[in-house]
Structure formats: C-alpha cells, structure tokens
C-alpha cells in the first residue's frame, strides 16, 4: 500500500510540475511575441519604413555614422520584455531539469536559454544598421524564441501523437523555412523598397546586383534602388517559396484532415495577405510588424503540426 501511495504521490507531483512548465512556457511565448513585435517596430521605424517621402526617405539610417539610440517607451518596453523573458526562461529551465530532467521539454528549454544568450551577445553588435548579417540573425533568433517557447509548452502536454503525416509535409515545412529566411534577409539588407509590384517583381539586368543582394557579408551603404536585379530576385524567391509552401500545406490539410494543418494554412494565408497589403499600402509600418508576428505564429503552428498535436482526424 505504501508503494502505491508513493507512486500516486510522485505522479501527482509530475502532473503539477508539467502544468507549471506549460504555464511558464505559454507566458514566455507571449513575451517572445511582444519582443518580436517591438523589435520589428524599433528596427523598421529607425529605417524610416513608410515615411512621408517614400521611398526616397527609406534607410537613410545607413548614411553616415550610426546614430545614438533614443530610449523612448518602445525601447524601454523591449528591454523590460527581453529581461523578463530571460529570467523566466532560466526558471523554466530549472523546472524542466530539477529534480530530474523531463524530456523533451528540458532539451527545448536549454536551447531556448542558449538562443537568448546568443541574442544578448548579438545585441552588442547591433548598433550599426549596416551589419546586415547581425540584423538577419536577430530576426531569425526572435522567431526562434517563439518557436522554442511553444515547443516547450507542447512537450509538457500529454496529447497523443495522431499518426504519420503525408510525406510532403516536411517538404512544405522546409519551403516555409526558406521563405522565412528569404524574408528576413530582405529586411536585414534593406531591400523592402526594391519591388512595388504584385504578385512578382520584374527582373532587371546586372549580375553585380544579384551577387550583392545574396552576399551574406553585405554592409549596405544605401538601400537597393527600385528594380534592382538582385533585390527583385530575392523578393521573387520569397514570394514563390511562400506560394509553394501554401500549396503543399493545403494538400497536406486536405489529405490528413488535421486541425493543425488547417491552422497552418490559415496563418500562412494571413501572412501572405499582410505581405501583399504591405506592398499595396506603400510599406505601412504596422502592416510590416503584423507580417512578422504572423510569421512567428506560423512557425509555432508548423511545429504543432509536425509534432502531431491538434491532429484528430475526422470521420
């Protein structure tokens, strides 16, 4: 009897611990989304996105020496959210590993903390907007915060896996990942104003422009002009990959009948609509920020789909 009582007590403790891990991860997810949104606002506002004499005023921040940071409300909110997220992630890591590791939540929590530390180090090199690679890594890292926070929350949930996905689901996820990478590089290289047409951009001439647009060590002194060949190709790659990913995910949702697959399709469509509205509106700042937040939610939804949660089949 004492053994059964001890087992029941240990099981109750584990359930309570998993509930706390899930709650901490969900709070961290909200903070990560806030960090993504405020970071995007600060970066894009400094770049002059959608400014009065658009696009002539875009990326004037690249000219001359980096300007000192202005600590207004948005930057203060970003610092508070980032500091709170780091403290919360350390607490989450401790709850995942002590008194014994709960896998895979503990592994995801460790990766989350390591990512936060890397982003903190990158922050020391972010003052110069001409460091495109640093800006790119910050963008990808911010999206990773959302994804890993949600992965910890899922790992602390006892939902059963709903079976194998169609074989092309992972191909769709790969296409989406490449879409996000291309979009992040568009933002980091200040190529947003190089294409103002839908659904695709007319490609100009010039191999030099193409080499410059895809150079990972690029340090732009000015944004690529409207119609720049390399920047236009980058836009086309981003949009083409997004449409391809949407087609694959729709087929995946139709064949698997998973709720998570339809959520991915809906979020991907929302991301496409906000992207198109951004182009059509002359790069409204709030639309670009919304586009980035939608992309972060989309990656979390894809993680849910690949894990097999929210996947009860109909019929």
pLDDT in tens, 142-168: 999 999 999 999 988 866 555 567 778
Q: Which of 125-134, 201-210, 295-304 shows the lowest mean pLDDT across its residues?
A: 201-210
pLDDT in tens, 172-199: 999 999 999 999 999 999 998 888 899 9
Residue 202, domain member (yes or no): yes
Residue among 313, 174, 308, 146 at smallest CA distance from 249 = 174
The pLDDT, as a whole number, for residue 153 is: 93
Q: Which of 54-63, 131-140, 294-303 shows the lowest mean pLDDT across its residues?
A: 54-63
Contacts of residue 164, defined as CB under 8 A and 6 or more positions apart, other chains included, come to: none
Residue 312, domain member (yes or no): no
Distance from first CA to last CA of the chain, Å, rounded? 44
Residue 313, domain member (yes or no): no
**Which phi-psi region, left, alpha or beta, contains residue 304 (left: φ > 0; alpha: ψ -120 to 50)?**
alpha
The reply to whether the predicted model has a pTM over 0.75 is yes
Asked if 276 and 198 touch (Cβ cutoff 8 Å), the reply is: yes
Block residue for tokens 């949660």? 309
Residue among 234, 185, 229, 231 at smallest CA distance from 207 = 229
The two tokens of residue 172 are 């769709």
- To the nearest whole number, what is the mean pLDDT of the chain? 86
pLDDT in tens, 61-104: 787 666 666 668 888 999 999 999 999 999 999 999 988 888 88
- HEC string for the chain: CHHHHHHHHHHHHHHHHHHHHHHHHHHHHHHHHHHHHHHHHHHHHHHCCCCCCCCCCCCHHHCCCCCCCCCCHHHHHHHHHHHHHHHHHHHHHHHHHCCCCCCCHHHHHHHHHHHHHHHHHHHCCCCCCCCHHHHHHHHHHHHHHHHHHHHHHHHCCCCCCCCCCCCCHHHHHHHHHHHHHHHHHHHHCCCHHHCCCCCCCCCCCCHHHHHHHCCCCCCCCCCCCCCCHHHHHHHHHHHHHHHHHHHHHHHHHHHHCCHHHHHHHHHHHHHHHHHHHHHHCCCCHHHHHHHHHHHHHHHHHHHHHHHCCCCCCCC
Print the domain residue range for 116. Answer: 2-307
Residue 56, domain member (yes or no): yes
Q: How far apart are CA 150 and CA 143, in angstroms?
A: 11
Residue 315, domain member (yes or no): no
Residue 314, domain member (yes or no): no
Residue 150, domain member (yes or no): yes
Cβ neighbour number for residue 156 with a 10 Å cutoff:
25
pLDDT in tens, 205-263: 656 566 777 888 888 888 888 888 889 999 999 999 999 999 999 999 998 888 889 99
Cβ neighbour number for residue 306 with a 10 Å cutoff:
15
- Total of domains in the chain: 1
Residue 6 has pLDDT above 80, yes or no: no
Residue 242, domain member (yes or no): yes
């Amino acid at each position: 009897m004492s053994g059964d009582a001890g087992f029941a007590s240990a099981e109750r403790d584990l359930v309570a611990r998993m509930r706390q891990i899930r709650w901490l991860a969900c709070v961290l997810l909200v903070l990560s989304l806030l960090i993504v949104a405020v970071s995007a606002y600060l970066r894009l506002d400094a770049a002059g996105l959608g400014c009065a004499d658009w696009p002539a005023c875009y990326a004037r921040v690249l000219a001359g020496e980096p300007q000192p940071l202005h600590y207004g409300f948005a930057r203060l909110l970003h610092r508070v959210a980032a500091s709170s997220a780091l403290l919360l992630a350390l607490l989450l890591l401790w709850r995942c590993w002590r008194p014994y590791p709960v896998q895979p939540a503990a592994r995801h929590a460790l990766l989350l903390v390591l990512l936060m530390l890397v982003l903190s180090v990158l922050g020391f090199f972010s003052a110069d907007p001409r460091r495109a690679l640093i800006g790119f890594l910050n963008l990808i890292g911010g999206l990773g915060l959302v994804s890993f926070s949600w992965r910890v929350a899922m790992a602390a949930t006892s939902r059963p896996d709903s079976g194998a996905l169609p074989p092309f689901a992972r191909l769709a996820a790969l296409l989406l990942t490449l879409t996000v990478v291309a979009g992040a590089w568009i933002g980091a290289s200040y190529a947003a104003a190089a294409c103002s047409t839908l659904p695709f951009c007319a490609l100009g001439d010039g191999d030099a422009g193409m080499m410059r647009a895809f150079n990972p060590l690029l340090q732009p002194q000015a944004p690529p002009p409207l119609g720049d060949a390399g920047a236009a190709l980058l836009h086309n790659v981003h949009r083409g990959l997004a449409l391809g990913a949407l087609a694959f995910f729709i087929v995946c949702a139709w064949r698997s009948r998973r709720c998570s697959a339809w959520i991915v399709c809906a979020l991907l469509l929302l991301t496409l609509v906000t992207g198109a509205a951004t182009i059509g509106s002359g790069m409204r700042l709030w639309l670009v920020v919304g586009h980035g937040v939608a992309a972060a939610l989309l990656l979390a939804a894809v993680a849910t789909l690949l894990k097999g949660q929210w996947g009860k089949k109909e019929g």
